[in-house]
Structure 1
Amino acid sequence: MNINVLLVDDQTLVREGLSSLLSLSDNVTVVAQASSGREAVRLTTESEPDVILMDIRMPDLSGIEAVELLRTKGFQTPVLMLTTFDDHESIMKAIQAGAEGYLLKDVSLEVLVGAIEALADGKTWLQPAITERIVQGLKESKAPENDNKQTLVEPLTDKEIAVLRLIAAGLSNNEIAESLFKSTGTVKNQVSSLMAKLGVRDRTRAVLKAIDLGLL
């Protein structure tokens, strides 16, 4: 499987460095490069990438604004945000804008390619440490009077909430299974069940919804 990637960063050296790094992978091809959010929107139409690697902070049009514009225009190309910053507010805005993944630029080639492959496969990707920052940041920013109670039509079970907490910590299904001494199949079913109850389509949004409901 070859994955075509659009690389977006306003810094030439960063773009060239990432492009050279990704050229070492047999599964990824950089088909176009953009130096701004506006150029990224134009090149998405021209190059039809499978995944977009987008810097979050750029002049003229930020990565977050570019994602919003892409979604407004009807493009559903998965976007992996890349940045040197890890503040939860930027992460939240990127996710709310429609980004499917978020990585710091200091990750290894293996992790970067893994994230690209995950997005190309319809999944989401957040570094565990970043997921923890999102959860902690949102908890700290929620006012006491907005401390919501669980209001789901079908409440989560204690076991599902336990799995949800481990998802929030960035653990994979296999790691959750090991932690809870369960089979991976059982955990997979519980993850599917809790996402259905929360009315979300991926693990990241499950965590965000659970925080809003006061479950985490």
Structure 2
Amino acid sequence: MTPELKETLSKVSTASVASALLKLGLRNIWIRGAMPIAGGGAHSVGEAFTMRFLPMREDLVGPALAKLPNTRAAIEAMEAGSFVVVDAMGVTDAGVAGDVLCARMTLRGGVGLVTDGAIRDIVGVETSGLPVWSRGTASPAPGNSLTFIDWGLPVACGGVTVFPGDVIVADRDGAVVIPQTIAEQVAAEAAEIERFDAWVVEKVAAGEPLPGLYPPNADNQARYKRETAAGA
């Protein structure tokens, strides 16, 4: 992600990003159920670093579990600027990460974590400074319900397909996924949506009625372009 792209996306809401994606025909881009749980919904932007869990199986414990990939190794493979996306299959009766893992993600340069599952150790997670979006919290460790299986591969999170390197934008409305190949186009469109919405809010504050203004008819569209071009 270029610094310019990140700067643009850091100034637009997930609502504007979702609207920009809709204009391009992409509807299934909002990670369902993942809401701010730590960090106050701070606006975060980063490239997806994917992690995936499978259902727990009783034979995958002890020595057998030690032979599988683990979350600690995954975090050490994460690059600075990554937005961790954890596929927990919607399971919320065990936390996919806690205070220790989130603290390490922060030190590794992670900008956020989003999961369709739960997290644990919420007080410690808040202290870590890592913004987190999840479906809630849970006391049990992941091994009670989940088995970590891999990272760096496509995942399904909250009903959305996420590829490594896709752009994640998250705020108080949740987290949206931008396909990497159209991130520049989406950012430009979202910025224009923000400019137009700000113009409309000014007109509404001045007492103008909404019909013909939002969405704009031809006259108001022309007025918007004229006034913004003139710096009004």
Which gives a bigger RCO, structure 1 or 2 (Cα 8 Å, sep 6+)? 2
More helix by share: 1
TM-score by length of 2: 0.29
For normalisation by structure 1, the TM-score amounts to: 0.31
- Name which one, 1 or 2, has greater alpha-carbon Rg: 2
